[in-house]
Amino acid sequence: MHAVTAPGDIDPLEEKLTHALHALEQARPFAKMRHQGALLDLSARLLQREGGLERLHALATRMDRAGLFAGTDWDTPAALLPGLVRHTLEQGAKQTVVLEILSQLRMLALAKGEAEHPNLTAQQARHFLTQVLALNLARIFAAASEAERVRLGGMAPVVDHLFHFLLDEIGYQQILGNLIEEVWRILAQRPIQLDHVKSMITQISIVMSQGGVDLGENRLGADRLVSALFGPTQGCLDDPGLAAYRQRLDAMDRTSLQQEAYGFARAMHDTGLVSDYHAVLVRWLLGNEQGELLPDALGLSSTGVDVLRSYQQLVHHLIEEAIHPRTAQTLYGLAMMLERCILYAPPIAPALWRQLALRVSANTGTLLGNTLGRDLAPEQQLLAGVISLLGLPLGVGQGNNPTCQAARALSMWSYNDPDYLLHIIAHAARFDGLVMHFEGAPLHSARLLAAHPSPSVLDTDPVSILLVPHLDAIYNEMGRLCAHRGEDPHRWINPEFHGWWVGRAFVIAVDVASGKLINFDAFLRQFYASYHPYYNGNQPLIHPQPAGIAVTDSRAQFVGWHAITIIRVALDQENVMRVYFFNPNNDSGQDWGNGVVVSTQGQGERYGESSLPFEQLASRLYIFHDDPTEELDEFDVPGEEIQRARELAVNSWAVNRLSPKS
């Protein structure tokens, strides 16, 4: 790198960069793009100087505010995906690489509390950088390859320096320890999409194999993760490769095969991870007339075994088409689908036979191929996604899609109305569109998307990739149709969009026009009287209900409105009444400030559920649905219950929303 200018001298490069930054700050929004290129070119030159990265770190927040990221994919840091960073830094054009580096420096400033962003907390920024470092451990511990050095040219050492700079700031031991804990925390939620988690575990495995790493108390957890992916049984303990493992299966006797089946099932249910070797075993069992070992390989209870025996031909066909090493994770979804007993519902088995015979349209095939790869047919990828979603209704996430409504709808239909879900999957895959009705009028997603194309959905499951653009288009059109009514549009959208079971009574805490609280105590009292078993006659929640929350960050400051599904209300093991709900974002464990920390395990949660004590969830709620046919005339809720929830609200998101009517 070039030498640093001596103290006291004016560095012409930094002077030019300062002028370019000032010009960007002064430019009007429509003219920002004309000034971004010059600033990026000067930043690239400075990055290749000693101390340049540190200097740009100090300027990163100012560059962000000036509009350097305006009009680019980096403009919304909360929507950035850690898994794309490596590809961008290694494959991107020079200006794109510089933009990515500056984005990482901005994220570091947010993580350290040196700057603030309206939609991203310091904790979220640190979490993002932890994942970026985890996914690039191999690059951190080894120099760039020759191909990377040629491709990046003078930027190769800059990228190396970036990762080490981030590592120095975040902390090496903390990264590995926190990473292992983070992987276990994510796995406890049983998400469908685990590619990024498996990439992290692969990097952990590489670092562990190099030796010299003291993981302390995290060593056991790391070993369990690595073995679950690469060697969960005696037959593949040494990670021999898929072809070699198939040969070993050919030589095993019945007892050895059963031990393999037990080992895979134990690892799968323990971690939620499925090894590629597991898919090899299951396919081998069916191909060698050893199907009687399938219940052992799936780890089924007596309930699941009964379903499997009742629908054995269907299940075998699902495995033959959908279960491959590339889609091994679907085995867990299959096991959980059998345990859910949904095949006993009359429409489900015929709908799955239809799915098996389905041939997708050319557009659908291109969409799935471009997003998921082409090593399997798009029909196989989609079928694997269908099985996973039916088995793990609460495992779906919204990916990079900013709209949470579609992910919530997919989860709700899988949970409560799977035959409808299978219907719209088949329709969208064959005909490139959906038709839904709003107040009697048909809405055609194909026409809506033709007028307003939607970006591709990334970092999520095959069903979401297919359906979310159509669902978002219809949802947005429903919003447009009732935007003039002067009330929150979800009053009309939610029942029409989600299903008949959504309560027709709509209760809201906020005046739409002013944003102020209205009759907040009455709002809270009705929520208690509708959902709390102590005050609603001990009536359980029959169908999951959509609701809206005011999301706050770890400082209890308002971030935005968000859609959730209330699933059930029950006492936990410490006799605390909790609301168990589904959060469609990609990680449900969050700190919402003032002691409101969302739990995803250890408090009676089932896989995929989040939970909070009743008053804490009530304090972040701003809309919910109710059944108007229920008698709620007593509202006999103690005042202290209402007061606790009210205080949590007005000391967080509602602090500036008080009005005389609230």
Confidence at 426, pLDDT banded by 50, 70, 90: very high
Q: How many whole angstroms separate alpha carbon 23 and alpha carbon 393?
A: 50
Say whether pLDDT at 653 is over 80: yes
Confidence at 589, pLDDT banded by 50, 70, 90: confident
User: Count of alpha carbons within 13 Å of 597, Cβ hemisphere only?
Assistant: 6
Based on the domain organization, do 444 and 547 belong to the same domain? Answer: no
**Domain final residue pick, 170, 189, 216:** 170
Based on the domain organization, do 16 and 152 belong to the same domain? Answer: yes
Based on the domain organization, do 405 and 297 belong to the same domain? Answer: no
Which residues, in sequence order, are bridge partners of residue 610? 581
Residue 453: alpha-carbon gap to chain centroid: 23
Range of the domain at 554: 505-650
Mean pLDDT of the chain: 90
Based on the domain organization, do 605 and 568 belong to the same domain? Answer: yes
Residue 361 lies in a domain: yes
Based on the domain organization, do 641 and 524 belong to the same domain? Answer: yes
Residue 537 lies in a domain: yes
**Domain final residue pick, 121, 142, 170:** 170
**Domain final residue pick, 343, 365, 396:** 343
Based on the domain organization, do 518 and 389 belong to the same domain? Answer: no
Q: How many whole angstroms separate alpha carbon 386 and alpha carbon 381?
A: 9
Nearest to 424 by CA among 474, 368, 375, 492: 474
Residue 202 lies in a domain: no
Residue 232: alpha-carbon gap to chain centroid: 26
Residue 217 lies in a domain: no
Say whether pLDDT at 2 is over 50: no
Nearest to 193 by CA among 585, 482, 473, 658: 585
> What does the DSSP 8-state code read for residue 77?
G
> What does the DSSP 8-state code read for residue 540?
P
pLDDT on residue 187: 93
Based on the domain organization, do 549 and 638 belong to the same domain? Answer: yes
Residue 225 lies in a domain: no
Residue 299: alpha-carbon gap to chain centroid: 26
The answer to whether residues 57 and 129 touch, using CB atoms and an 8 Å cutoff, is no
Confidence at 583, pLDDT banded by 50, 70, 90: very high
Q: pLDDT digit string (tens) for 232-282?
A: 999 999 999 999 999 999 999 999 999 999 999 999 999 999 999 999 999
Number of domains in the chain: 4
pLDDT on residue 557: 86
Asked which of 91-100, 174-183, 394-403 is least confident by mean pLDDT, the reply is 174-183
Based on the domain organization, do 474 and 520 belong to the same domain? Answer: no
Residue 194 lies in a domain: no
Say whether pLDDT at 565 is over 90: yes
Based on the domain organization, do 424 and 454 belong to the same domain? Answer: yes
Q: pLDDT digit string (tens) for 526-560?
A: 999 999 999 998 999 999 999 999 988 777 888 88
Q: pLDDT digit string (tens) for 316-347?
A: 999 999 999 999 999 999 999 999 999 999 99
Q: What is the pTM assigned to this prediction? A: 0.81
Q: pLDDT digit string (tens) for 55-87?
A: 999 999 999 999 999 989 898 888 888 888 988
The answer to whether residues 418 and 499 touch, using CB atoms and an 8 Å cutoff, is no
Based on the domain organization, do 162 and 99 belong to the same domain? Answer: yes
Q: How many whole angstroms separate alpha carbon 301 and alpha carbon 293?
A: 13
Based on the domain organization, do 317 and 401 belong to the same domain? Answer: no
Q: How much is the CA Rg of the chain, to the nearest whole Å?
A: 27
Q: How many whole angstroms separate alpha carbon 164 and alpha carbon 53?
A: 11
Based on the domain organization, do 461 and 440 belong to the same domain? Answer: yes
Provide the Cα torsion 457, 463, 464, 469; round to 10°. 70
Residue 177 lies in a domain: no
> What does the DSSP 8-state code read for residue 537?
T
Residue 542 lies in a domain: yes
What residues contact residue 569 under an 8 Å CB cut-off, 6+ apart? 531, 532, 533, 540, 541, 577, 578, 579, 580, 614
pLDDT on residue 6: 43
3-state secondary structure of 27: coil
Residue 591 burial class via C-beta count within 10 angstroms: exposed 0-12, middle 13-18, buried 19 and up: middle
Q: How many whole angstroms separate alpha carbon 372 and alpha carbon 380?
A: 11
442, 444, 446, 493, 495 from 439: Cα distances, Å: 9, 14, 19, 9, 10
Confidence at 141, pLDDT banded by 50, 70, 90: low
Q: How many whole angstroms separate alpha carbon 426 and alpha carbon 515?
A: 41
